[in-house]
Amino acid sequence: MDVIGDLVARERRTDDIAVRTDSRAGSYSYEKFCTNTWKTGNILRHYGVRGGATVAVDAGDSLTPSPLLALFGASLLGATTRFDPGESPSAKALVIPAARAGAYDPEPGTKTFVYGDVPDDPEFAHFEAEMWSENPTSPPDRVAPTDTALATADGEFTHERLLAAAERVVDGYGLDGDDEVAVRAPLSEPGTVVAGVLAPVLAGGTVLVDRDSTGTVAVATDDETATVPEPTAIDPADVL
């Protein structure tokens, strides 16, 4: 794997569960996740996102598949994802939950996508509706391993650095296709993105976003590791 987009390549489409939510209907198989990632990339591309652009994402209080699709979709274009947008983000695209649609004042030129409920503001695009109607093929953009894929308050992280860290997590914790990794730390922590999202997908396992279910491994901050129901916990601060 050289770039994050390799994790959602055509040959990785299977019936295995890639993202588990609180319902069977809301969960994503690898086939559905790959296809919807391609659609997301095409949506973002349609609205001007290209390599070097920033896609700001608010993952919300209860993580759902949409922020993950935004991450992978942006990566297909060589764009940078930022999970800690300020109130006035400078980004080509802003992806936010409907409950927080009024909390942001994006700069001119930013296209806002709302996921979950249909937005009241006609200037906002409904993420799920736009994705449903998009072309289910991978975008044609070329992405290099040295392109920046993730930005946080602490710095920027390239595709190759994130994937190398994900490989270390897979090897260090013996992750495989039977593992479900519960995301119990914020995606604004780069270690959460690596251990909670990229590593399980790299291993062919499952990203567990339902906080009420128990996985085989948790990604949780140091002050929460003692209280998670999973037998093994990974502190995102130790990943990168």
Q: What share of the chain in percent tops pLDDT 90?
A: 86
Nearest to 151 by CA among 82, 88, 100, 90: 82
Give 146-196 as a DSSP string. Answer: TSEEEEETTEEEEHHHHHHHHHHHHHHHT--TT-EEEE-S-TTSHHHIIII
Instruction: Look at residue 112 in the predicted model and tell me its pLDDT.
Output: 96
How far, in Å, CA of 178 to CA of 191, rounded? 21
- State the residue range of the domain holding 125: 4-238
Q: What share of the chain in percent tops pLDDT 70?
A: 100
CATH number of the domain bearing residue 222: 3.40.50.12780
Q: Which token pair is 51?
A: 């390599």
**Entry pTM:** 0.96
How far, in Å, CA of 117 to CA of 217, rounded? 31
Please report which helix (H) or strand (E) contains residue 56, including its range. Answer: strand 54-57
The 10 Å Cβ neighbour count of residue 73 is 30
Nearest to 72 by CA among 6, 135, 130: 6
Phi-psi region of 131 (alpha: psi -120 to 50; beta: other; left: phi over 0): alpha
pLDDT category at 236 given cuts 50, 70, 90 is: very high
Handedness of CA 155, 157, 161, 167 (dihedral sign): positive
Nearest to 56 by CA among 153, 135, 140: 153
**Residues 66, 72, 74, CA angle at the centre, nearest 5°?**
100
How far, in Å, CA of 79 to CA of 59, rounded? 17
What is the per-residue pLDDT across 111-150, written as a single tens digit (0 to 9) for each?
999 999 998 888 899 999 999 989 899 999 999 999 999 9
Residue 154 has pLDDT above 90, yes or no: no
Residue 181 has pLDDT above 80, yes or no: yes
What is the per-residue pLDDT across 161-177, written as a single tens digit (0 to 9) for each?
999 999 999 999 999 99
| Sole residue written with tokens 């994790």 | 7
pLDDT category at 155 given cuts 50, 70, 90 is: very high
How far, in Å, CA of 207 to CA of 215, rounded? 9
pLDDT category at 207 given cuts 50, 70, 90 is: very high
The separation between the first and the last C-alpha atoms of the chain, rounded to the nearest angstrom, is 18
For the segment 26-35, the average pLDDT, to the nearest whole number, is 97
The total of structural domains in the chain comes to 1
Contact 71, 57 (CB under 8 A): yes
Residue 90 has pLDDT above 90, yes or no: no
